[in-house]
Amino acid sequence: MKMKFNCSSLIFLCLSTLLFSCTKDRTKQCDIDPSYSFDIAPFFNTYCVACHQSNSSSGGVNLDNFESVSNHIDHSISEFRDGTMPSPGSLSPEPSQRDSILELLNCWVSMGKKNN
């Protein structure tokens, strides 16, 4: 009886440690808490909105407001990461800026897509 109790306590301890370290790791990836108005919107306005706005939403994707950006953020991140968007030939960030932009976008998602 005593043995059983100790064993399940141990399992519980292991599981919670594991869970705790996972949660910790995920937040650890983001030391930044990007702002929609100061970090996210300026990126989309500069590089995407010319082709993705309510009047001309290429591919049915509108990126000129918070709601639509939130809805299309995962797809937008993958297109940007893979270099397919901004479409070739259009204004694009310097290669040296790409990593920090990706970090901003990913952390904005991890931090809960705040409209701040």
- Measure CA 25 to chain center: 16
Residue 85 engages ligand HEC in binding (rule: CB under 6 A): yes
Which residues 6+ apart lie within 8 Å of 46 measured at CB? 91
- Smallest gap from Cβ 33 to ligand HEC, in A, equals 21
- Smallest gap from Cβ 26 to ligand HEC, in A, equals 24
Q: In this structure, are residues 64 and 44 in contact, taking their beta carbons and an 8 Å threshold?
A: yes
Residue 108 engages ligand HEC in binding (rule: CB under 6 A): no
Nearest-angstrom CA–CA distance, 106 and 14: 30
Residue number with CB closer to ligand HEC (76 or 108): 76
Binding mask 34-73 for ligand HEC (x = CB under 6 A): -------------xx-xxx-----xx-x----------x-
How far from 54 is each of 25, 57, 63, 71, CA to CA, in Å? 38, 6, 8, 14
Q: List residues near ligand HEC by CB under 6 A.
A: 47-48, 50-52, 58-59, 61, 72, 75-76, 79-80, 85-87, 90
